[in-house]
Structure 1
């Protein structure tokens, strides 16, 4: 089965992990569609610091319409701004990722494929790190340079923009 657009997933995701950003492969960037859906304040917020995180933006006023702008999926960045950047992957492909973590702090993380129409994770995480992810000032190489293997998705991601693969970091502040 050809899943040529399964990873509008990686090619178009954004990352807010321990104040970090995916460097490779290319990630979504904001444009006119993001400004229309999420507002100029969000675009300016991330242009000032693309390693920031949605919770920090939630302190802003006014907040964008959550029906148009999902801050927790690709930082609200819209597919329409990035359609030309779709990277085709097929089941079984190995995809190398490189992540820059500007402000490491302990937590756990994973990379999963998310259906943007339902905001639900498809299958199991492609890679995950238990407690202690990004806990040191110099995170281990397996947290900043790693590969994932594209799973069989039964055509669920055959349409560009339906699936994304954000890296999700949860900061754990208590034991």
Structure 2
């Protein structure tokens, strides 16, 4: 692993004062490839608050930068974080939600070339409700079952991600993390 990736991973993981993100399995991190396509300001925004909403990340306007796909984080910066799963495998996930915002959340397999959902594995109609005294345990510790019908679509690293996508309806803010995997 490159030193810049280690530093970025350490800073991103330590920055848990915003709203929410996935901590396990390891999510995509910002790095030099993201800075190249999205600009240094986008990387700085995530490094300042890795749990912040997509709406707080400003790209340089490059068509190669898609903040709506993995917060703009690039596969090239995350090759060392690729997970290997089998069809039907149950994957435990952990999220931190320091500032909850009630709204829907889903965990899906997304095709990174087209930024389209291939299969949704888990849906919360109401997630991270700030009106609850204590969040349900399944909001921060949950499991998904990997799809069994994707064939070879996710057999090459970088082709697919497992995406955690949450929208706080009252806050009007979007949160997203991606886990790179092969299957």
- TM-score bucket of the superposed structures, by smaller chain: 0.7 to 0.9
The count of corresponding residues between Structure 1 and Structure 2 is 151
Measured in 2, the distance between the counterparts of 1:138 and 1:25 equals 24
Match of 1:42 in 2: 42
Distance apart, 1:158 and its partner CA: 1.0
Q: Give 3-state SS (helix, strand or coil) of 1:34's partner.
A: helix
Match of 1:129 in 2: 124
Higher relative contact order (CA 8 A, sep 6+): 1
| TM score, norm. by length of structure 1 | 0.81
Following superposition of structure 1 onto structure 2, how do residues 13-162 of structure 1 map, counting pairs within 5 Å? 19-58=19-58, 63-123=59-119, 125-130=120-125, 132-136=126-130, 138-152=134-148, 153-162=150-159
| TM score, norm. by length of structure 2 | 0.78
Measured in 2, the distance between the counterparts of 1:43 and 1:80 equals 14
Task: Spell out, residue by residue over 1:24-77, the C-alpha distance to the aligned partner (whole angstroms, 9 max, x if none).
Answer: 11111111101101111011111111000111224xxxx323521110111100
4+ residue runs over 6 A deviation = none
Higher strand fraction: Structure 1 or Structure 2? 2
CA-atom RMSD in angstroms? 1.7
Distance apart, 1:159 and its partner CA: 0.9
Measured in 2, the distance between the counterparts of 1:107 and 1:66 equals 30
Q: Structure 2: give runs of 5+ residues left out of the alignment.
A: 1-17, 172-183
